[in-house]
Amino acid sequence: MEENIIYIGNKPVMNYVLAVVTQMNGGTDEVFLKARGRAISKAVDVAEIVRNRFIPESDVGSIEISTEEITNNEDVQTNVSTIAIQIKKD
């Protein structure tokens, strides 16, 4: 089983929407959106735009949230929240 993961970062929302649509139109039945920190809101936007506007036969599957420890530029450890959203076709 192939896992298709799209990491949500600083690019415009529609870049990631296009990435999902391209993968799904290429025959992939499920895609995982992964994001950390402030990009979490954008990951939710991507999922909603895909299912509402571009791929009506897709839907949101599992949504998982978690915490990762990261080390910043000054070597200080902080926690950052993460999200993984599954988008799947019927």
x/- mask, a second copy, residues 38-57, rule CB under 8 A, reads xxxx--xx-xx---x-----
Give me 47's structure tokens: 């999922």
- Quick count: other Cβ atoms within 10 Å of Cβ 20? 24
Q: Which is nearer to a second copy, 14 or 65 (CB)?
A: 65
DSSP 41-86: HHHHHHHHHIIIII-TTEEEEEEEEEEEEEE-TTS-EEEEEEEEEE
**Least CB distance to a second copy at residue 27 (A):** 25
Q: Is 78 in the site for a second copy (CB under 8 A)?
A: no
Size of the site for a second copy (CB under 8 A): 20
Closer CB to a second copy, residue 24 or residue 87? 87
In the complex, the smallest distance separating the C-beta of residue 72 from a second copy, rounded to whole angstroms, is: 16
CA atoms of 33 and 40, how far apart (whole Å): 9
> What length does the chain have?
90
In the complex, which residues of this chain contact a second copy (CB under 8 A)? 37-41, 44-45, 47-48, 52, 60, 63-67, 79, 81, 83, 85
